[in-house]
Amino acid sequence: MSDSIFCGKCGKPVTGESPSGDTAQRQPCPQCGSLARSHDVHIQVSDGFNLVGSLTANIITYPEALLTTAKDLIVNGQFSIAVVVAHIACEISTERALSQAFAAKGIEYLEEPVEELLSGYNLANDRVRNIFNALKGDIIQKQSFWQAFKQSATLRNNVIHQGKIVTKAEAEASVKAASELVTYLK
DSSP 78-127: -HHHHHHHHHHHHHHHHHHHHHHHHHHTT-HHHHHHHHHT-S---TTSHH
Q: How far apart are CA 121 and CA 77, in angstroms?
A: 27
**Same-domain pairing of 68 and 128:** yes
One domain for residues 11 and 99: no
Question: What range does the domain containing 138 cover?
Answer: 64-185
Residues in contact with 173: Cβ distance below 8 Å, sequence separation at least 6, in sequence order? 148, 151, 152
pLDDT tens string, the chain, 186 residues long: the values are 345 676 665 667 777 776 555 555 667 777 766 666 665 666 777 777 877 777 666 667 889 999 999 999 999 999 999 999 999 999 999 999 999 999 999 999 999 999 999 989 999 999 999 999 999 998 999 999 999 999 999 999 999 999 999 999 999 999 999 999 999 998
Q: Are residues 53 and 68 in the same domain?
A: no
On whether the CB atoms of residues 103 and 120 are closer than 8 A, the answer is no
Do 178 and 100 lie in one domain? The reply is yes
pLDDT at position 34: 63
Question: How far are the Cα atoms of 56, 70, 162 from residue 175, in angstroms, in the given order?
Answer: 30, 7, 20
For 158, counting Cβ atoms within 10 Å of its Cβ (0-12 exposed, 13-18 middle, 19+ buried), the class is middle
Same domain, 155 and 102: yes
pLDDT of residue 1: 39
Same-domain check for residues 71 and 153: yes
Task: Please tell me the predicted confidence (pLDDT) of residue 54.
Answer: 72
Residue 51 burial class via C-beta count within 10 angstroms: exposed 0-12, middle 13-18, buried 19 and up: exposed
| pTM for the full predicted model | 0.71
Instruction: Please write the tens of the pLDDT for every residue from 98-115.
Output: 999 999 999 999 999 999
Domain shared by 166 and 119, yes or no:
yes
Q: What is the pLDDT of residue 42?
A: 65
| C-alpha to C-alpha distance for 102 and 179, rounded to whole angstroms | 23
pLDDT in tens, 111-137: 999 999 998 999 999 999 999 999 999
What's the structural domain count of the chain?
A: 2
Do 115 and 178 reside in the same domain of the chain? yes
